[in-house]
Structure 1
Amino acid sequence: MKREAGILMPISSLPSNQGIGDFGKHPYRFIDAISKQNIHIWQILPLNPAGYGNSPYQPYSSFAGDEIYISLDTLADYGLIKQSSVRNFNKFSDAVDFEGVRAFKEPYFRKAYKTFLKNFHQFEKEYQLFCSTAEWLYPYAVFIVLKRKNENKPWQEWKKEERDWIDSRQLSLEDMEDEIKYHQFLQFIFYKQWNDIKKYAEKHHVKILGDIPFYVGLDSADVWQYKNQFLLDENGYPSFVAGVPPDYFSETGQRWGNPIYDWNIMKKNRYDFWMKRLAWNAQQFDIIRLDHFRAFDTYWKIPSSCPTAVEGEWILGPAYDFFDEVYKCFPDIHLVAEDLGDLRPQVLKLRDFYHLKGMHVIQFEMQPKLLKKSRKEEVILYTGTHDNDTLEGFYLDLTQNQKIALRRFFHNCGYDDRNFHNLVIRYCLDSNASTVIIPLQDVLGLKKEGRLNTPGTIGSPNWEWKVKNLKEFYSLLPTLGKWIKDSRR
């Protein structure tokens, strides 16, 4: 069985002089570096327009890309802006200032759009091809323009003709057409830059592992366009919301607030919305991680009036009927199941029936008696995910006795390293898991300052972590590559 290793590194966390990791030179350098060390998977987080709390899991669209990732330097390479006009945005260089970066990049985007219109013939064929394949594009652009027109208020607070434009088309958009075209232009540029990165990764035998959130954001083009696919009241507000009951992460559970799908309606149209989501994402990524996989089997349904996730009930999901349709439409799609947490056996049966790889997170097993247990080969083993503390941050929270017990365990396994994160990484690489993925923060041995997200919390510093440069990471890669090559798997 082929064994693989990968790095988890969000695009936003890459180095950049423009405030956030983007589609400039650093993704190419990153791909070059990891491919030389037998690392052939790069896992990223969703690239959709971040909504509430700047979370990639509360996007404004399941299809559109967040223009914040567009590289200004690459725009200059296209001849759409002058390289000499590009300035640095160094404020909060060790953290992403989302609003600051958006305001900084916007004038450059406007200049690029004007040049694009003047020199449209240079891009016409490519642009027309993109528009013809992205059926979501025009509705999304209309949604964003209406949202800006309404001072970014949720679409439920718009005028009725704006809320119902998809169904009635009674609202005149004539005076908005240029702005709509501007947002279509941004999506064209976003995917032009991203597809160049993906092609470069393919050339260097690096697979991109993307991520599809199970739910979509309430204030999104998805819900606005497909209202009848969700359990909403007559004003567009959810009757029930998504989340999970109390667990390892939270005593009161997690109340995400996303609207719940109307699976009865979706079944009648053969899950059309989901099939469109998967089709588009399959073009962008080589492997797709299905976040919150267990909800396809059973999902936690919380009355919207409840302030926490404690009150709720488990409801049967679409399960086999859904995945039969998926593989009917996309027989070669490569899916991974995020199957973490307390699961009923039926979830694992669903996963195994379609031969999906599941996930293990070593931090959840960090006791000698659990580490000794046998592991299935067809699994992706993580030292941590975007929702975990770093390995060193995790280690800091252990008692002295726990630290001693773990170090003794790893020492008895033949690992001798002063750094806890290296002990764990080597142990994972030597396991029988078919795939091992390591967050870049764990390669660097960062402590709590490297944590990306804390589940159950909203806002700063979640999603803001950004590495200043990758020099140290690149210097450590040969050692990591040697461990991969010499692993006992």
Structure 2
Amino acid sequence: MDASSTRSAGILLHPTSLPGPHGIGSLGSYARGFIDFLAAAGQSYWQILPLGPTGYGNSPYSALSTFAGNPWLIDLQTLVTEGLLHGSELAAAPLCTDRVDYGAVGPFKTEKLHLAAERFATVASAERREKFEAFEQQNAWWLDNYALFEAVKQANEGKSIRDWDTELRCREPAAIARASQQLATEIRHQRVMQFLFFEQWAALRSYAHGRGVRIIGDMPIFVSFDSDVVWAHPELFKVDANLTPSVVAGVPPDYFSATGQLWGNPLYDWKTHEKQGFNWWVDRVRMALLLADVVRLDHFRGFEAAWEVPSHHADACHGTWVKGPGNAFFDALRSELGSLPFIAEDLGLITKEVYALRDHYGLPGMRVLQFGFGTGEDRYNAPHRVERNSVVYTGTHDNDTTVGWFRTLSAKDRAFVQSYLNTSGATIHWAMIRAAYGTVADTVIIPIQDVLGLGSEARMNMPGQMGGWWAYRLTEQPHAAVAEKLRELTELYERCPS
């Protein structure tokens, strides 16, 4: 994505939200069917959320690993075809509904994936076993730590690393050697699961490319405290020898929250990263670009400055802005990786310094139309203020659906939106999509919930609230009539691939 980009459009849908059996979306035939829908609708992009294995709360933005894929996305029917599972073993799968029941899906898929991993050594062909061994060797730099981390975590009944025995938490050599030996079977299973995930994802991405669809991935700036990287590389973070953080991430008080938001993520020791040539980040971005064609950088402003809060504070009121790596970071990435196919998530409290950093590298920012119907500075996201080097959204995974948002507006604000968009509001979602498509922005991304005109019941996430989120699912593929209508708009506004 750059200034020379042609006009394009795409859909936001996380793979967990795909339809299909087994209680959660996966990387099999239903994912390919969704790509077929995108192609039929004239779409160039499929935007997803982070693909890492999720922990407590099931948020893709709080993954257990920086580099691993989420095993729950592995398609079980594909494993049946490959002989790693039997069809009868999937009979007790969780019901397919419009919500992911993680409490049922997690144990079911974990059991079947362990069964498949156990059979892999005897069922897989010699050629495939060689591919697995090559995968292990090529990815040992992250896979070794992840597989051991996950095995130890399972042995500790899923507890956070802060609750592990001291010798394991602090990676004492004798404890690591003992765990590696005692948990050898589980470690191997975790390695096989990662091989299966990356194998299926590579096949799916190749299929997407064959249909003219590119993937927009997502990279959270911060990592979860309960993750393999904090455990294996504490020197990269502001934590002590016991893995206790001195400061944590958040955002300061604003109009929406009098106490700010205390995210609790460990913060980076940027001086150490810079001394190492930002090698860990280079590896992270390189891996992300193996999974996606473009990467959205979540909380982009944190690369310019981050809100640091002392870890003993109960809220985010008394933090300070601490400078991030800025140009040195992006120069290092560009030196090692070449072009930077990033989208800068520049929403929220943004300063001129953040915009300058974004613009220095020619990165497109984000505009969210739901934020564009206020007054004064709140109109920054209005359709007529959008700039070309932008990615326009009706809403994101953190917003209500457009229908839900419209229903909750005051009568005055609703009337203003109706006047601006020249609509009665009966099909507000199509009016917003049309407004987004009509902007000068190179790229427009629409959440699938808005394409389908769904209400607040289909919302993906509510920032700051725990429990019950990240669960939305399609119950079937979008109908051909929806693809036809979307393609009409895509062609009308010259966003259809040639």
Give the TM-score band, short-chain normalised.
over 0.9
- Does the CA-based 8 Å contact 1:19-1:97 persist in structure 2? yes
Q: CA shift at 1:421, angstroms?
A: 1.1
Partner of 2:129: 124
Q: CA shift at 1:297, angstroms?
A: 0.2
Instruction: Confirm whether residue 156 of structure 1 aligns to residue 181 of structure 2.
Output: no
SS at match of 2:399: coil
The percentage of aligned residue pairs carrying the same residue is 37
Q: CA shift at 1:99, angstroms?
A: 2.6
1:251 to 234, 245, 258: 258
Instruction: Confirm whether residue 486 of structure 1 aligns to residue 492 of structure 2.
Output: yes
Q: Deviations over 1:70-129 (max 9, x none)?
A: 111010111111224322534472211113111112332232123211134241221122
Residues 53 and 96 (structure 1), Cα distance of their counterparts in 2 relative to 1, 3 Å cut = same
Instruction: Confirm whether residue 425 of structure 1 aligns to residue 433 of structure 2.
Output: yes
1:46 to 30, 45, 50: 50
SS at match of 2:177: coil
* CA distance in 1: counterparts of 2:383 and 2:360, whole angstroms: 27
Residues 180-329 of structure 1 aligned to structure 2 (within 5 Å): 180-247=187-254, 249-329=256-336
Partner of 1:465: 472
Partner of 1:11: 15
Q: CA shift at 1:486, angstroms?
A: 0.6
2:400 to 370, 389, 397: 389
Partner of 2:84: 80
Instruction: Confirm whether residue 436 of structure 1 aligns to residue 444 of structure 2.
Output: yes
SS at match of 1:478: helix
Q: CA shift at 1:234, angstroms?
A: 3.1
Residues 49-60 of structure 1 aligned to structure 2 (within 5 Å): 49-60=53-64
2:142 aligned partner, one-letter code: W
Residues 379 and 89 (structure 1), Cα distance of their counterparts in 2 relative to 1, 3 Å cut = same
* Greater mean deviation of Cα atoms: 109-118 or 175-184: 109-118
Q: CA shift at 1:152, angstroms?
A: 1.9
1:36 to 37, 40, 53: 40
Residues 471 and 316 (structure 1), Cα distance of their counterparts in 2 relative to 1, 3 Å cut = closer
SS at match of 1:336: strand
SS at match of 1:53: coil
SS at match of 1:428: helix
Partner of 2:101: 97
Q: Deviations over 1:236-289 (max 9, x none)?
A: 121111111123543322111100111111111111221111111111110011
* CA distance in 1: counterparts of 2:418 and 2:295, whole angstroms: 35
Instruction: Confirm whether residue 176 of structure 1 aligns to residue 180 of structure 2.
Output: no
* CA distance in 2: counterparts of 1:337 and 1:53, whole angstroms: 25
SS at match of 1:59: coil
Residues 399 and 466 (structure 1), Cα distance of their counterparts in 2 relative to 1, 3 Å cut = same
- Does the CA-based 8 Å contact 2:384-2:439 persist in structure 1? no
- Does the CA-based 8 Å contact 2:21-2:95 persist in structure 1? no
- Does the CA-based 8 Å contact 1:368-1:405 persist in structure 2? no
* Greater mean deviation of Cα atoms: 111-120 or 189-198: 111-120
Partner of 2:349: 342
1:147 aligned partner, one-letter code: K
Q: Deviations over 1:172-206 (max 9, x none)?
A: 22222121111101111111111110110111111
1:363 to 352, 363, 370: 370
SS at match of 2:309: strand
Partner of 1:410: 421
Q: CA shift at 1:317, angstroms?
A: 0.4
* CA distance in 2: counterparts of 1:360 and 1:366, whole angstroms: 12
- Does the CA-based 8 Å contact 1:252-1:310 persist in structure 2? yes
Higher RCO (C-alpha under 8 Å, 6+ residues apart): 2
* CA distance in 2: counterparts of 1:404 and 1:84, whole angstroms: 56
- Does the CA-based 8 Å contact 2:304-2:357 persist in structure 1? yes
SS at match of 2:57: helix
* CA distance in 2: counterparts of 1:13 and 1:465, whole angstroms: 6
* CA distance in 2: counterparts of 1:196 and 1:176, whole angstroms: 31
Residues 104 and 372 (structure 1), Cα distance of their counterparts in 2 relative to 1, 3 Å cut = closer
- Does the CA-based 8 Å contact 1:65-1:191 persist in structure 2? yes
1:55 aligned partner, one-letter code: S
Q: CA shift at 1:390, angstroms?
A: 0.6
* CA distance in 1: counterparts of 2:212 and 2:279, whole angstroms: 32
* CA distance in 2: counterparts of 1:156 and 1:278, whole angstroms: 28
SS at match of 1:237: coil
List gaps (5 residues or longer) in structure 1.
Answer: none
* CA distance in 1: counterparts of 2:275 and 2:461, whole angstroms: 37
1:12 aligned partner, one-letter code: T
- Does the CA-based 8 Å contact 2:169-2:242 persist in structure 1? no
Residues 407 and 268 (structure 1), Cα distance of their counterparts in 2 relative to 1, 3 Å cut = same
Residues 274 and 169 (structure 1), Cα distance of their counterparts in 2 relative to 1, 3 Å cut = farther
* Greater mean deviation of Cα atoms: 43-52 or 371-380: 371-380
2:166 aligned partner, one-letter code: K
- Does the CA-based 8 Å contact 2:170-2:242 persist in structure 1? no
Q: Deviations over 1:21-71 (max 9, x none)?
A: 111211101111111222010000111011121111111001011111111
Q: CA shift at 1:165, angstroms?
A: 3.0
Partner of 2:110: 106
Equivalent pairs counted in the alignment come to 484
Q: CA shift at 1:362, angstroms?
A: 0.5
1:14 aligned partner, one-letter code: L
1:379 to 362, 377, 390: 390
SS at match of 1:468: coil
* Greater mean deviation of Cα atoms: 57-66 or 170-179: 170-179
2:29 to 4, 19, 25: 25
Residues 372 and 77 (structure 1), Cα distance of their counterparts in 2 relative to 1, 3 Å cut = closer
* CA distance in 2: counterparts of 1:365 and 1:66, whole angstroms: 35
Instruction: Confirm whether residue 61 of structure 1 aligns to residue 65 of structure 2.
Output: yes
* Greater mean deviation of Cα atoms: 116-125 or 215-224: 116-125
SS at match of 1:436: strand
